[in-house]
Structures are given as structure tokens and as C-alpha cells.
Amino acid sequence: MLYPYNYLNTRDTPYLLDYVYQGLAYTAFHEFGNVAGNTSVYLQITTGARTIHIFNHEIQIAGAGDVTASLYEGATVTTGTILPDLPPKSFDRRIGESSSALTSIFTNPSSINLGSATMFMREKIYNNGGGFGGKDSRVSGIETVLAPNATYLLQLTNTSNNTLDMTVGLKFYESDN
């Protein structure tokens, strides 16, 4: 689902707010249930005419196993199912305007060809099935910038032999620079 993110808590700088398009940021999340061992699931991120800044992402797994998350640029796919979006709220109430993100996020694309795609984010999440409710997560506040008018694939690979539930969440804003 694609929802408005109601506040920016990563940086409080005039520079950041000067370049965020209409002062709006978004959050998107999706849960992949019962992902079999040694298989991958994907989110397709298709950017519009603006630069996308993912300023926070979280990947959570439930069950005992390991997950590798990779982000690829320039992959070719057959588009899957779009996540529904809602009109976002403005951070700057003086604007008084709602706008939808130009970015689209799809689940379960098919005919995936990573080809010569550039991998620019890779992380691994380990879970031994313990912890709170048998869940583990990885949260990153490192900003990832996505080019306009491009296709990206976020690949979550269950590298264990166990079936896992995976949830991914992204917080991002769009800018004209």
C-alpha cells in the first residue's frame, strides 16, 4: 500500500525541504506471505519524471531463516499488480494541496530479466526464529537515490530451506533535482 508519510524525521534542514516536491513524502509497504525456501519475491519501482529519495527502508521476516535484499537498476520485467495509493498530505500546510506520487510500486512482476542491471544495495537479514514473536528486521536510514524515468527491482531472496513471511516498507520523497 502507498500512504502519505506525515513527517520527515531524518533531517531538519532547509536544504532538504527546499527540494522535496510540494513538501510531500510517502510510505509504501507490502507483505509477502509463505515465501518458500530458496526462492525470490520482487517489488518493482517505476519512477516518474522526478528523482526519488528513499530515506528509510525496513525489511522484516517472520520465521527461522535468512533473507538477502538486493536493489537492481534497469531490469526489464512484465509489470505486476500496482499497490494502491492515497492522496498524500502536505508537510507544509501553507501549500494546502494534495498530489499523488509519480512513482509507482508493483508487486509480483513476471518475465524478470536482471541482465546487466546494477546492484547498488545489498543486505542480509538473519533470524533464528527467536526474538519477539520469532521476527527480525533490518532498518536503514541511509538515503538511496533513484533516477527519474527508470525501473528498479527490489529482490527479497529466502536463502533458507524454511518458509518465511517477509514485509518490506519504504519511506521516500520526490524532488526535481
Confidence check: pLDDT of 84 > 60: yes
Report the side by side order of strands in the sheet with 65-73: 81-82, 104-107, 39-46, 151-158, 65-73, 118-127
What's the domain range around 68?
2-175
Residue 28 and residue 83 in contact, taking contact as beta carbons nearer than 8 Å: yes
C-alpha triplet 70, 48, 7: angle, nearest 5°: 75
pLDDT band (50, 70, 90) for residue 11: very low
The per-residue pLDDT of the chain, averaged, comes to: 71
The domain total for the chain is 1
The pLDDT of residue 135: 58
pLDDT band (50, 70, 90) for residue 121: low
11-20, 53-62, 151-160, range with the lowest pLDDT: 11-20
Give the CATH number for residue 42: 2.60.120
Give 15-38 pLDDT, tens digit per residue: 444 556 566 777 777 889 899 999
Has this prediction a pTM greater than 0.75? Answer: no
